[in-house]
Amino acid sequence: MRRKTVVTIVVVIALTAFLAWRFLRPMNIFVVSEAFERPIPVRQLPASVTSQSAKACAQCHAEVYNEWTTTMHSRAWTEPYFQTDWKFDDSRQICKNCHIPLQDQQEHLVTGFRDKDKWDPILEPNPRFDADLQHEGVTCNVCHLREGRILGPYGDTRAPHAVTKMEDPNQVCMRCHVVQGKRWDTFFRMPPCGTVVEIESVGEKINCVQCHMPAVQRPLVAGGQIRAARQHLWRGGHDPEMVKRALKAEFSEQPIDTDRHRVTATLTNIGATHFLPTGTPDRYLTVTLRVLDAGGKVLKAQEQTLKRTVMWRPFIVDLWDTRLPYQQPRTYTMDFDTRGGKARLAEIVVHYHLLDEARRKRIKYENKEPIFYEIYRESISIKQ
């Protein structure tokens, strides 16, 4: 009996210690894959290309350059929220490999790793570090330069620099937009940056460029041949108009009996083959149904939050996910009392939230721009 008690105590102590360690240890939320364990090396430039900077590309590709300057890609390193969040999470080296992916954008070279999981790189000073290039974030050569060759939609040996045809441009996107891996303590039903995985889960073809790089007919260089090309815009969650196009909303109001009416809202993700919203779990939608009187006073309100909820410690587990999958309508209803004739207007308002307010306060991010915006609103007069 005494031996059994001792064994039980030892097991309890060991389990308590293990769980305590899981709460205190640095949290590695994904597996570092070979695709992005190191920055992209640029050992040589093609003939006639004198710099890795986007400004050099702009000399011939001015229209594409001007589009790129308006994107989150161009601000991938300097964007204030990223910098605040990155420093809060101990300025992990691995984050640089997507936010400033070129080797010469980084102050240090990755020469190896101290750990099997590759979260603790061995660093040494980078003699080719370019601070100006670093501030370009995801710049032109991140996608278009590999092993001294320029990659493009058309193979062309007559150009000032030879161009090798890019067989599948979506593969470039996947380097950073699908972060996953199999390990017992980094389990995700959908990885944290797993947009591509979400597309695969609904059986859709991965075609990032179709939505995020709209087709256009134009010359690739000034005075060149007009042909099929893509705009370099990559609009997403930070662009209200892009999000609005992805959402279809239907709103109605009808009586249930003599004293009660019902409002019904049906939302459908018609424009994004991944979830709406997608990307970081911080993003979510709120759907608010309200009934108002003649003076605009709210008589009844109901709010739904559409988000991905994750338990981070002691183990990373998806708890539930109420976001909008592609082409799967979601219906919300609210019943209300019509006695007395006060109820005059039914309303629905949908907001897109880039960041949870609790998270914003925790990391001490002082946003200068709103962290949420309205994407849909409709009102209906209530028939008495």
Cα–Cα dist 371/376, whole Å = 16
Longest distance between any two alpha carbons in the chain, whole Å: 91
Which domains can be identified in the chain, with CATH numbers?
Answer: 34-174 (no CATH), 240-381 (2.60.40.10)
- Give the pLDDT confidence score for residue 84 in this predicted structure: 96
Cα–Cα dist 341/384, whole Å = 7
From the list 322, 326, 324, the residue with the least C-alpha distance to 204 is: 326
8 A C-beta contact, residue 76 and residue 138: yes
In which band, very low, low, confident or very high, does the pLDDT at 88 lie, cut at 50, 70 and 90? very high
From the list 311, 303, 273, the residue with the least C-alpha distance to 285 is: 303
In which band, very low, low, confident or very high, does the pLDDT at 314 lie, cut at 50, 70 and 90? confident
- Supply φ then ψ for residue 30, to 5 degrees: -150, 170
Residue 73 has what DSSP assignment?
A: G
Q: Where are the beta strands (DSSP E) in 40-181?
A: 108-113, 121-125, 145-146, 149-152, 163-165
- Give the pLDDT confidence score for residue 187 in this predicted structure: 54
Q: Is 348 exposed, middle or buried (0-12, 13-18, 19+ CB in 10 A)?
A: buried
CA distances from 167 to 152, 158, 228, 325 (A): 9, 19, 15, 29
Length in residues, the chain: 384
In which band, very low, low, confident or very high, does the pLDDT at 106 lie, cut at 50, 70 and 90? very high
From the list 295, 307, 301, 384, the residue with the least C-alpha distance to 349 is: 301
Cα–Cα dist 381/249, whole Å = 17
- Edge-to-edge strands of the sheet including 298-306? 298-306, 284-292, 345-353, 372-381
Cα–Cα dist 145/131, whole Å = 19
Identify the three-state secondary structure at position 133.
Answer: helix
pLDDT at 191 over 60: no
Task: Count the alpha carbons within 13 Å of 273 in the hemisphere toward its beta carbon.
Answer: 16
> CA 290, 294, 297, 300: dihedral to nearest 10 degrees?
-30
Decide which of 248 and 208 is more confident: 248
- Give the pLDDT confidence score for residue 324 in this predicted structure: 95
* pLDDT one-digit tens code per residue, 135-169: 999 999 999 988 888 898 888 777 788 888 988 88
Cα dihedral sign, 121-127-131-132? negative
* Adjacent-strand bridge partners of 318: 310
- Give the pLDDT confidence score for residue 36 in this predicted structure: 84
pTM for the model = 0.90
Q: Please list the helix, strand and coil fractions of the chain in percent, rounded to the nearest 5, in that order.
A: 25, 30, 45
